[in-house]
Structure 1
């Protein structure tokens, strides 16, 4: 067959086929007129090279697998030399992962330091002022929310095709977050020091505690990433400008999402409640992976310990 047909059957470009040939990985026969004649065996070799390359094995190092096939083995990795190449590739990937993890840890440390440096809320371990304490501490005898089953339908369902703005000025689509786990903690609203909360806020089960909850995710952010969370977001119906102030004031190392129309509640049946005539999200947390809601935390209590609950779940359910 011609090179164009061989490339089509193997799922590569003709340029790739020529490159493999230049390395001596495939050796098509030559016809009397000088044209190359590719066989099904050549196509199989090209497919094998393509598959191994997608796994991270350089094209130049696929020869042991091709030699294994040429020796009559049913599979390209039936030979000791193929297994040795697997091990070498794994060792190299491990070194790269360790190096990237170290770089990520340093970036997170720098981010936390910079966020707290510019924050109007003192970092963990230092004393908060009187105005901050009203929001960073929870009143005694705070009523706990009951499990009314309002989130039982969420695990296993597809994430909604909703695009929401972030406090970083970007837009993300909830069903296109990718294969990494994304933790989205949904909350009613965050108050500001010196401003009034809705009337009777402390008596509504599950309403109070949004600021301590956010601070918990802030303080455990690096641990959450190390446990397998690819991203962390907070989400409420407050607008992005309001949330940007919260991100700055609390020194949050992650972005907030704004859903002012509660579209997530309307499309996916997330529980809501009313306070002072305003409809708000009930507190819950979603873990989304590959466009599917993998897990839902609901109800959540106490909110200041919720980040640790999510961290424990991530550690107990590794990918």
Structure 2
């Protein structure tokens, strides 16, 4: 058969068949008129080369497998040399994977270092929040999911904060405690869940935290004995955020959403994870005195809490 017919039967291109022939892997018979005549054996050889190439074995290294066929074995990997070819290919892939893993780790470190360096400035200078709220974010609606909370006593739940302490929510301390609950804080070296901006009330955790940071002294003066953030992210993740944003208060970690289950707080799913909906609790002696829900816009929420505290002195 002609080269075009052989290539079509083998599922290859004419150019590929000519390349295999140039390497001496395919050896068609030469007719008297100088034309090459390919047979079913040549078609099989081309198919085997393509199958091995899909496994990651370079065309140039398929010779041991083809020699195995030429020796009369029914399969190209029935010979010891073929098994050695597999192992060589595996070893090569392992080296490449290790090299790529090392390069990826170096890039992640560089990204983290650059992001942290560019978002942290010396104390005493203003922090420029690189995360701005996009325009036209969907506004969350009040669905009544927090109507039952005022007057409710908090359960006997202890959560770890970023200072390494266990904070008892039913007994956080005398006077008022403000806890702003949020879904998750983004980091410059991490991607947010897909479609994050389209979820009402999801976007804005960093600006919200920065707002509570910037108004922290005023909140304390207005009667907030303690201010905490709270999310389901682990303490190590939260500690990086506290250090990068220079938060003067601790963040509480509730990875199992125990508080959501105990108080029936609203949650939502994103990126395969259950997350808190954004809300703020004002506690007084372990009892919910006031709830802010829904919270919008998050970057101005600390001002809303401050206004409420001033209007409702303890």
Task: Give the TM-score normalised by structure 2.
Answer: 0.61
Report the equivalent of 2:97.
none
CA–CA distance in structure 1, aligned partners of residues 165 and 119 of structure 2: 24
Which of 274, 285, 309 is matched with 1:314 structurally? 309
Whether 2:195 is the aligned partner of 1:197: answer: no
Whether 2:261 is the aligned partner of 1:262: answer: no
Report the equivalent of 1:286.
281
CA contact (8 A) 1:207 1:282 kept: yes
CA contact (8 A) 1:158 1:291 kept: yes
State the shift of 1:151 in Å: 0.5
Higher-Rg member (1/2): 2
State the shift of 1:194 in Å: 3.1
CA contact (8 A) 2:232 2:275 kept: yes
Whether 2:224 is the aligned partner of 1:229: answer: yes
Closer, same or farther: CA 144–176 of 1 in aligned 2, 3 Å: same
Which of 232, 237, 240 is matched with 1:242 structurally? 237
Report the equivalent of 1:7.
none
Report matched runs for 1:1-319 at 5 Å: 120-122=119-121, 126=126, 128=128, 133=130, 135=131, 137-319=132-314
CA–CA distance in structure 2, aligned partners of residues 313 and 127 of structure 1: 26
CA–CA distance in structure 1, aligned partners of residues 126 and 286 of structure 2: 40
State the shift of 1:299 in Å: 0.1
CA–CA distance in structure 1, aligned partners of residues 165 and 224 of structure 2: 20
Aligned Cα root-mean-square deviation (Å): 1.7
Closer, same or farther: CA 248–127 of 1 in aligned 2, 3 Å: closer
Q: Which runs of 5+ in 2 are unaligned?
A: 1-116
Closer, same or farther: CA 267–318 of 1 in aligned 2, 3 Å: same
Q: State the number of aligned residues.
A: 197
CA–CA distance in structure 2, aligned partners of residues 127 and 154 of structure 1: 35
CA–CA distance in structure 1, aligned partners of residues 127 and 255 of structure 2: 34
Closer, same or farther: CA 285–205 of 1 in aligned 2, 3 Å: same
- Which runs of structure 1 show a deviation greater than 2 angstroms over 4 or more consecutive aligned residues? 118-128
CA contact (8 A) 1:119 1:249 kept: no
Closer, same or farther: CA 124–211 of 1 in aligned 2, 3 Å: farther
Deviations 1:122-153 (A, max 9, x none): 4797574xxx62x2x10000111000000010
CA–CA distance in structure 2, aligned partners of residues 233 and 193 of structure 1: 22
Task: Give the TM-score normalised by structure 1.
Answer: 0.60
